[in-house]
């Protein structure tokens, strides 16, 4: 008699179902995500609520009330949206959640970060099946638009009375895959500055040598930024203890202006993506940029698309009982944690920005970093292991006696 194939774990099936919802930027209709999460709440036995801070941008919160509802709660956050795909570059349908013979599940969002949202829920499902009761209330949030800055999502939500009513004391959010045995833990983020530097100049015919041209000014500005970029690059190369999040990164991302090849334009604009390290004084950096602009010539001005303030990192020491509880549980599981400053940006910055401690952690080791990449995938065994990890971490945090 032929042996039947092993049945797929229900958690994996739920994960793949969620991945098949094409909540891809831009212009997302989140209804299918909301309906899926409502079904999950009903099947697990969690309270379900949808908050609206911006029309068409729902914030979904599933709640497991603790034995002491007055105690500050734990927020487990994830985002519903994913970045665009180039289907011709994928060997599998990017929204098919296809699983190969090795158990690799291919889909946009498999690492960033639909995996984590489902892992939260499946860990809670397991705990409830064991009749576990926790001291603190757990809120599992699914937010919109993180991939485009979270402006209409978490950034607004943390300023509302609805968020205040959740009584959050500590939050967890996304991290990143690790290709080796280690698990990366993020406790802070650099400040994003997107600068549009407008360089006006003398227009005219392309055959002339005109004074004070936009091109000359742009060259000066680019040289200054790129010289600083090189210094930061060398700093990273010379010190193996430093990670990307420890230095300031600078990238020229756009050049704008001009009408045709034989016309000297009246203005050129250069755009830089700058991520300021935690040790950079923002006022001094801005003064330096303004000085460069004055040196480059008359009329130059800076427009900030983003200019994020300094946000204090979450402390990883004895003053933070949440960290101590998290670390102790990871030590019990023999997880090798590597604390870092997150090199990009997540919704954690808005949570930390209102004074709450937050850690970024995605339990994905032995996994190549493929967020935003073609053929993004997560192996089902790694996914299931992540559920086990949260099944231990969540009670450790939720049963912590009040740290205040």
CATH number of 74's domain:
3.40.630.10
Distance CA 284, CA 366 (A): 41
Query: What are the angstrom distances between the C-alpha of 294 and each of 147, 225, 270, 289, 291?
Result: 35, 14, 15, 9, 5
Instruction: Say yes or no: 266 and 367 in one domain.
Output: no
Which among 168, 144, 228, 189 has a CA at the least distance from the CA of 309? 189
**156 assigned to some structural domain:** yes
Distance CA 196, CA 354 (A): 28
Let me know if 162 is a catalytic residue. no
For the chain, how many residues are written? 404
Instruction: Say yes or no: 242 and 335 in one domain.
Output: no
Looking at residue 5, its pLDDT comes to 57
**361 assigned to some structural domain:** yes
Distance CA 153, CA 149 (A): 8
Instruction: Say yes or no: 106 and 31 in one domain.
Output: yes
**2 assigned to some structural domain:** no
Instruction: Say yes or no: 104 and 248 in one domain.
Output: no
Instruction: Count CB-CB contacts under 10 A for residue 96.
Output: 14
Which among 366, 379, 364 has a CA at the least distance from the CA of 106? 379
Instruction: Say yes or no: 177 and 321 in one domain.
Output: yes
Instruction: Say yes or no: 144 and 266 in one domain.
Output: no
Concatenating the DSSP letter of every residue in 30-92 gives THHHHHHHHHHHHHHT-EEEEEESSTT-EEEEEEE--S-TTSPEEEEEEE--B----GGG-SS
Looking at residue 4, its pLDDT comes to 46
Instruction: Say yes or no: 227 and 270 in one domain.
Output: yes
Angle between helices 10-19 and 380-398 (to 10 degrees): 100
**1 assigned to some structural domain:** no
Q: Model confidence over 252-263: pLDDT tens digits?
A: 999 999 999 999
What total number of domains does the chain contain? 2
- Residue segments in the chain with a per-residue pLDDT below the cut of 50: 1-4, 404
* 358-361 vs 168-173, strand pairing mode: parallel
Instruction: Say yes or no: 150 and 240 in one domain.
Output: no
**159 assigned to some structural domain:** yes
Give the chain's radius of gyration (CA, Å).
24
**284 assigned to some structural domain:** yes
Instruction: Evaluate whether 275 touches 268 at the Cβ level (below 8 Å).
Output: no
Question: Could you say which DSSP state residue 3 is in?
Answer: P
Looking at residue 403, its pLDDT comes to 53
Q: In the chain, what is the straight-line distance between the N-terminal and C-terminal CA atoms, in Å?
A: 63
Q: Model confidence over 305-358: pLDDT tens digits?
A: 999 999 999 999 999 999 999 999 999 999 999 999 999 999 999 999 999 999
Distance CA 257, CA 268 (A): 5
Q: In this structure, is the dihedral angle defined by the CA atoms of residues 296, 302, 306 and 312, taken in order, positive or negative?
A: positive
**382 assigned to some structural domain:** yes
Q: Retrieve residue 218's tokens.
A: 């742009």
Instruction: Count CB-CB contacts under 10 A for residue 260.
Output: 7
Instruction: Say yes or no: 204 and 283 in one domain.
Output: yes
- Choosing from 146, 147, 152, 246, the catalytic residue is 146
Report the CATH number that the domain containing residue 260 is assigned in CATH. 3.30.70.360
Instruction: Say yes or no: 36 and 139 in one domain.
Output: yes
Residues of the domain holding 285: 191-277+279-307
**Region class of 318: left (phi > 0), else alpha (psi between -120 and 50), else beta:** alpha
Instruction: Count CB-CB contacts under 10 A for residue 382.
Output: 20
Q: In this structure, is the dihedral angle defined by the CA atoms of residues 18, 22, 26 and 32, taken in order, positive or negative?
A: negative
Looking at residue 181, its pLDDT comes to 98
Let me know if 31 is a catalytic residue. no
Looking at residue 321, its pLDDT comes to 97
Instruction: Say yes or no: 209 and 271 in one domain.
Output: yes
Looking at residue 25, its pLDDT comes to 98
Q: Retrieve residue 272's tokens.
A: 């830089």
CA atoms within a 13 Å half-sphere pointing along the CA-CB vector of 112: 24
Instruction: Say yes or no: 93 and 238 in one domain.
Output: no
Question: Could you say which DSSP state residue 55 is in?
Answer: T
**Phi, psi (5° rounding) for residue 370?**
-125, 15
Q: Retrieve residue 176's tokens.
A: 């990143």
Looking at residue 6, its pLDDT comes to 76
Distance CA 106, CA 277 (A): 34
**152 assigned to some structural domain:** yes
H/E element, 276: strand 267-276
């Amino acid at each position: 008699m032929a042996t039947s194939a092993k049945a797929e774990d229900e958690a994996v099936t739920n994960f793949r179902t969620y991945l098949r919802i094409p909540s891809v930027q831009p212009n997302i209709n989140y209804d299918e995500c909301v309906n899926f999460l409502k079904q999950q709440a009903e099947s697990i036995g969690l309270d379900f609520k949808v908050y609206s801070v911006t029309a068409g941008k729902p914030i979904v919160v599933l709640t497991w009330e603790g034995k002491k509802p007055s105690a500050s709660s734990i927020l487990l956050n994830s985002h519903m949206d994913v970045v665009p795909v180039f289907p011709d570059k994928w060997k599998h349908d990017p929204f098919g959640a296809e699983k190969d013979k090795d158990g690799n599940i291919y889909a946009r969002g498999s690492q960033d970060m639909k995996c984590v949202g489902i892992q939260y829920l499946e860990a809670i499902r397991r705990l409830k099946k064991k009749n576990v009761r926790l001291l603190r209330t757990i809120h599992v949030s699914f937010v919109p638009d993180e991939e485009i800055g979270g402006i209409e999502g978490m950034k607004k939500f943390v300023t509302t009375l609805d968020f205040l009513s959740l009584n959050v004391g500590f939050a967890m959010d996304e991290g990143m895959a690790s290709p080796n045995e280690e698990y990366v833990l993020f406790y802070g983020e650099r400040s994003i500055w997107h600068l549009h530097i407008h360089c006006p100049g003398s227009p005219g015919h392309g055959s002339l040598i005109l004074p004070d041209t936009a091109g000359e000014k742009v060259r000066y500005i680019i040289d200054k930024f790129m010289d600083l970029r090189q210094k930061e690059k060398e700093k990273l190369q010379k010190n193996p203890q430093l990670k990307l999040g420890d230095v300031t990164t600078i990238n020229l991302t756009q050049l704008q202006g001009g009408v045709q090849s034989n016309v000297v334009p009246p203005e050129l604009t250069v755009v830089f993506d700058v991520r300021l390290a935690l040790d950079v004084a923002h006022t001094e950096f801005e003064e330096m940029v303004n000085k460069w602009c004055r040196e480059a010539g008359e009329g130059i001005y800076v427009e900030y698309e983003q200019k994020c303030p300094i946000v204090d990192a979450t402390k990883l020491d004895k003053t933070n009982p949440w960290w101590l509880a998290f670390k102790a549980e990871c030590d019990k599981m023999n997880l090798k944690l590597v604390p870092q400053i997150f090199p990009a940006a997540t919704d954690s910055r808005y949570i930390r920005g209102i004074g709450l401690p937050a850690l970024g952690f995605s339990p994905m080791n032995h996994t190549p970093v493929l967020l935003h990449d073609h053929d993004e995938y997560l192996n089902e065994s790694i996914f299931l292991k992540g559920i086990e990890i949260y099944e231990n971490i969540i009670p450790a945090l939720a049963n912590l006696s009040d740290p205040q």
